[in-house]
Each structure stands twice: as C-alpha cells, then as structure tokens.
Amino acid sequence: MRAVLFDLDGTLLDIDIDAFIRRYFARLGPVVAQVAGDGVTPEQAIDVVMRSTSAMMRPHPGKTNQNAFDEAFVALTGADLHLAYERFTEFYETVFPTLRNGLGPVPGAVEAVEAALGLGLRVAIATNPIFPEVAIRRRMEWAGVSDLDIPVVTTFELMHACKPDPGYFLETAALLGVAPQDCLMVGDDVHLDMPAANVGMSTYSVGTSRPPAVTFAGSLVELPDLLQRLARP
C-alpha cells in the first residue's frame, strides 16, 4: 500500500451532517437569493443550489465540478458569475467559520493522518468535492488536520467527478501518483466511500455499520497499527 484517502465529514470531522446542512442553508439562502435575481426567495435560492449540485454529481466529462455547477446555476438564474462568486467568497470567508458550533476531530483523527504521513504514505483528504476549497480547508481546520502537509485535497475547483462515481476515485489516485490498487479509502459512508472498492482500492469502514464487502473495519484509533502493517515492504 502506498496511499491513504481520508474522507472528511463523519470520518475525520465529528459532525452531524444533517444538522450542519440545515445551519449552512439557513445562512447561505439569503446570499444566493441576492445574486439569483429579483423576487427569488431564500428557499427558492437553496432549491437552485440543490439542482446545480445535482448537475455536478452527474457525469460531466471534461468539465470540473465547478464548471458543471456554474453552468447549471447560470441556466437556472441568469446570474452574473463574477458577482455571485464575490458574494460566495465573502460568505465562506466571514459567515461559514461561524457555523462550527463546537465541531472537532473524531478521536484518533489527527493521529491517523499523522501516522500515514509518518510512514511515507501519500495522503489525500478525499472529501466529496461539492464544496469550494475555502470551505473544505475550513472544515480541515475544525478536524485538526489543516496544518499537516497533505499533498491532495479534492475540491470542486480541482475534480471532474463526485463520489461515488468511479472517476472520482481514479482521479484521486492519479493525483496521488499511485495505482488504485495501492490505495486505502478510509470513510464512514457505505454509499459514498466504500464504492472505492469498485476501482480496486482497499477500504476501511469507520462508520457505525460494518458492511460485509469492506476490506477492513474499525476506529481511527486502531488505524495506525493497520497502516504500519500494510506499509511494510
């Protein structure tokens, strides 16, 4: 094994994702409504975001996830993207940090990433790339891993597919410079993370469920010992 892909939300970051998304949309809605056009309510604006995100989740060969989102967003609203991104950037820099609300690392998260790096393994923060880099970097900070030298972070500006599309896992492996068969995907979501096995990656489930098809299962506290065994020549 030469590389480890760490999911972020629910894996490294201890988060109730449903509660977080509610807080996030409550604050994002008015911002999107301002750039989406006259008469657009915050609720309608969030529907636009969801539909644009759905477009990003579908296959879009040759386009980054951001390209796919932008095309759908403009088609639905006619918005000026330059103005929209000015407002979005301001939101992510000033409002998004206030949504932390006590969020922090899952026990063993920092130590697991440090162990992988210390063993000379290539490491990716393999979060689903539906957020801009500024939002992902902030959540990495909440998870305690923002100061670590992690070579690959999958953001919507960079990636050309989303989980669980096989293209996402293949692209991440390519960015790490390793074959998929030399990767371990560490995640909590059986539907988004564990399909890494479909491209030949080993998998490590840290969720409450233990899907029968995973290669390994356990906590992040247990992971460093496994990494040491797997990284041996």
Distance CA 117, CA 149 (A): 8
Tens digit of each residue's pLDDT (9 = 90 or more) over 42-92: 999 999 999 999 999 999 999 999 999 999 999 999 989 999 999 999 999
> Residue 116: left if φ>0, alpha if ψ -120 to 50, beta else—which one?
alpha
Distance CA 173, CA 122 (A): 10
CB-based contacts of 67, cutoff 8 Å, min separation 6: 60
116: confidence class by pLDDT, cuts 50, 70, 90: very high
The mean pLDDT of 147-167, rounded to a whole number, is 97
pLDDT for 211 equals 77
pLDDT for 233 equals 61
Q: Extract the runs of DSSP E, i.e. beta strands, from the chain.
A: 3-6, 13-14, 104-105, 122-125, 152-153, 183-187, 202-205, 216-217
Crossing angle for the helix pair 81-94 and 17-36, nearest 10 degrees?
A: 140
Residue 39: pLDDT over 80: yes
The DSSP 8-state label assigned to residue 190 in this structure reads T
Amino acid at 227: L
Distance CA 72, CA 200 (A): 32
Tens digit of each residue's pLDDT (9 = 90 or more) over 170-199: 999 999 999 999 999 999 999 999 999 999
Taken in order 195, 201, 207, 212, the sign of the CA dihedral is positive
* 3-class DSSP assignment, residue 226: helix
Residue 117: pLDDT over 80: yes
pLDDT for 207 equals 75
Residue 37: pLDDT over 90: no
Considering the domain 3-15+104-230, what is its CATH architecture?
Answer: 3-Layer(aba) Sandwich (3.40)
pLDDT for 60 equals 96
The mean pLDDT of 100-112, rounded to a whole number, is 96
Beta-bridge partners for 123: 4
- The answer to whether residues 116 and 123 touch, using CB atoms and an 8 Å cutoff, is yes
Distance CA 32, CA 184 (A): 37
- The answer to whether residues 112 and 6 touch, using CB atoms and an 8 Å cutoff, is yes
Residue 208: pLDDT over 80: no
pLDDT for 212 equals 76
- The answer to whether residues 5 and 201 touch, using CB atoms and an 8 Å cutoff, is yes
Share of the chain above pLDDT 90, in %: 91
The mean pLDDT of 82-105, rounded to a whole number, is 94
CB-based contacts of 43, cutoff 8 Å, min separation 6: 29
Residue 210: pLDDT over 90: no
Domains of the chain, by residue range, sit at 3-15+104-230, 17-99
Q: What is the mean pLDDT of the chain?
A: 95
pLDDT for 59 equals 96
